[in-house]
Structure 1
Amino acid sequence: MADSTDSIAAIATAPGRGGIAIIRISGPLALYVASKLTKKENTTDAQDGSEVFPFKPRYAYFSKFYDGDEVIDEGVLLYFKGPHSYTGEDVIEIQGHGGNIVPQRVLSAVLKFKGVRQAEPGEFTRRAFLNGRMDLTAAEAVEDLISAGSESAAKAALASLSGAFANRLDELTQKLTNFRVRIEACLDFPEEHEDFFDSGKANDELKELLSLAQQAQTIANQGVKLNEGARIVLAGQPNAGKSSLLNALAGADRAIVTNIPGTTRDVLTVNIEIGGIPVTITDTAGIRDTPSDEIEAIGIQKALDELKQADLILLMIDSSKEAYDALEALNHIKKVFDNPKNILVVKSKQDLPPNEQTQQLLNSEPLNQYPQISTSTKQDGGLDVLRTKLQEILGIIPSEGVFSARRRHLSELQESYLAIQRAIQMLELGDLVLTAREITLAQNHLGTITGKVTSDDILGIIFSTFCIGK
Structure 2
Amino acid sequence: MERNTDTIIARATPLGQGGVGIIRISGNKVFNVIKHTLKLTYIKPRYAHYLSFFYKNKIIDKGIVLLFLKPYSFTGEDVLELQCHGGPILLDLLINDIVNISGIRIANPGEFSERAFLNKKIDLTQAEAITDIISANSKAAVFAAMNLMHGKFSKLLKIFSINLINLRTEIESFLEFEYEINFSIFCKNILRKLDKLLDNLMHIMEYVKNGIRIREGIKITLIGPPNSGKSSLMNLITNKDISIITDIPGTTRDILHENIYINSVPIEIIDTAGIRKTNNKIESIGIKKTFEIIKKSNYLFLIIEDKMSEKNLLKIINNDIKKYIKNIPIIVIRNKIDVTNSVPELIKNKDFTTIKLSVKTKKGILILMNFIRNNILYTNNNEDQFTARERHINTLNNIYLLLKEAKKEFLDIKLIELLSETLRLVQKELDLLTGKFTSKDLLKSIFSNFCIGK
Band of TM-score, shorter chain: 0.7 to 0.9
Cα displacement string for residues 413-434 of structure 1 (whole angstroms, at most 9, x for unaligned residues): 2222333334334544332222
The correspondence of residues 33-72 of structure 1 with structure 2, limited to 5 A, is 33-38=33-38, 40-42=39-41, 53=42, 55-72=43-60
CA 1:15/1:256 → structure 2, altered by over 3 Å: closer, same or farther? Answer: farther
CA contact (8 A) 1:375 1:382 kept: yes
1:191 alignment partner, SS class:
coil
2:179 alignment partner, SS class:
helix
1:303 alignment partner, SS class:
helix
CA 1:340/1:112 → structure 2, altered by over 3 Å: closer, same or farther? Answer: closer
The answer to whether structure 1 residue 148 and structure 2 residue 144 are counterparts is no
The answer to whether structure 1 residue 97 and structure 2 residue 85 are counterparts is yes
The answer for the alignment partner of 1:16 in structure 2 is: 16
The answer to whether structure 1 residue 451 and structure 2 residue 450 are counterparts is no
What is the rounded CA distance, in whole Å, between the counterparts of 2:186 and 2:322 in structure 1? 53
What is the rounded CA distance, in whole Å, between the counterparts of 2:236 and 2:272 in structure 1? 16
The answer for the alignment partner of 2:370 in structure 1 is: 388
User: How far does residue 172 in structure 1 lie from its aligned partner after superposition?
Assistant: 1.4
The correspondence of residues 18-33 of structure 1 with structure 2, limited to 5 A, is 18-33=18-33
CA contact (8 A) 1:317 1:348 kept: yes
The answer for the alignment partner of 1:439 in structure 2 is: 423
The answer for the alignment partner of 1:399 in structure 2 is: 381
Cα displacement string for residues 137-157 of structure 1 (whole angstroms, at most 9, x for unaligned residues): 111111122222322222222
CA contact (8 A) 1:128 1:134 kept: yes
CA contact (8 A) 1:122 1:466 kept: yes
What is the rounded CA distance, in whole Å, between the counterparts of 1:307 and 1:199 in structure 2? 45
Cα displacement string for residues 116-150 of structure 1 (whole angstroms, at most 9, x for unaligned residues): 22211111111000001011111111112222232
Partner amino acid, structure 2, of 1:384: L
User: How far does residue 394 in structure 1 lie from its aligned partner after superposition?
Assistant: 4.2
The answer for the alignment partner of 1:47 in structure 2 is: none
CA contact (8 A) 2:291 2:324 kept: no
Give the unaligned 5+ runs of structure 2: 343-349
The correspondence of residues 223-302 of structure 1 with structure 2, limited to 5 A, is 223-257=211-245, 262-274=250-262, 277-290=265-278, 296-302=283-289
What is the rounded CA distance, in whole Å, between the counterparts of 1:114 and 1:452 in structure 2? 33
The answer for the alignment partner of 2:74 in structure 1 is: 86
CA contact (8 A) 2:297 2:328 kept: no
CA 1:340/1:68 → structure 2, altered by over 3 Å: closer, same or farther? Answer: closer
What is the rounded CA distance, in whole Å, between the counterparts of 2:84 and 2:391 in structure 1? 39
What is the rounded CA distance, in whole Å, between the counterparts of 1:394 and 1:441 in structure 2? 34
User: How far does residue 379 in structure 1 lie from its aligned partner after superposition?
Assistant: 4.8
Instruction: Give me the TM-score of the superposition, normalised by structure 1.
Output: 0.83
CA 1:419/1:355 → structure 2, altered by over 3 Å: closer, same or farther? Answer: same
What is the rounded CA distance, in whole Å, between the counterparts of 1:227 and 1:168 in structure 2? 19
CA contact (8 A) 1:33 1:110 kept: yes
**Structure 1, 253-262 or 128-137: larger mean CA deviation:** 253-262
Instruction: Give me the TM-score of the superposition, normalised by structure 2.
Output: 0.85
What is the rounded CA distance, in whole Å, between the counterparts of 1:381 and 1:75 in structure 2? 62
CA contact (8 A) 1:267 1:284 kept: yes
CA contact (8 A) 1:307 1:333 kept: no
What is the rounded CA distance, in whole Å, between the counterparts of 2:307 and 2:195 in structure 1? 53
What is the rounded CA distance, in whole Å, between the counterparts of 1:369 and 1:58 in structure 2? 60
CA 1:327/1:71 → structure 2, altered by over 3 Å: closer, same or farther? Answer: farther
What is the rounded CA distance, in whole Å, between the counterparts of 1:424 and 1:238 in structure 2? 48
The answer for the alignment partner of 1:134 in structure 2 is: 122
2:438 alignment partner, SS class:
coil
Partner amino acid, structure 2, of 1:398: N
User: How far does residue 7 in structure 1 lie from its aligned partner after superposition?
Assistant: 1.3
Cα displacement string for residues 151-209 of structure 1 (whole angstroms, at most 9, x for unaligned residues): 22222222221111111111111122122222222223333454795473232222222
CA 1:95/1:238 → structure 2, altered by over 3 Å: closer, same or farther? Answer: farther
The match for 1:417 among 384, 390, 400 is 400
Residue correspondences, number: 444
The answer to whether structure 1 residue 347 and structure 2 residue 325 are counterparts is no
Give the unaligned 5+ runs of structure 1: 43-52, 357-367
User: RMSD in angstroms over aligned alpha carbons?
Assistant: 3.4
User: How far does residue 17 in structure 1 lie from its aligned partner after superposition?
Assistant: 4.4
**Structure 1, 328-337 or 304-313: larger mean CA deviation:** 328-337
User: How far does residue 301 in structure 1 lie from its aligned partner after superposition?
Assistant: 4.0
The answer to whether structure 1 residue 373 and structure 2 residue 355 are counterparts is yes
**Structure 1, 254-263 or 459-468: larger mean CA deviation:** 254-263
User: How far does residue 88 in structure 1 lie from its aligned partner after superposition?
Assistant: 0.6
Aligned-pair identity in percent equals 38
The answer to whether structure 1 residue 311 and structure 2 residue 294 are counterparts is no
What is the rounded CA distance, in whole Å, between the counterparts of 2:184 and 2:316 in structure 1? 60
What is the rounded CA distance, in whole Å, between the counterparts of 1:162 and 1:223 in structure 2? 15
CA 1:327/1:117 → structure 2, altered by over 3 Å: closer, same or farther? Answer: same
User: How far does residue 257 in structure 1 lie from its aligned partner after superposition?
Assistant: 4.4
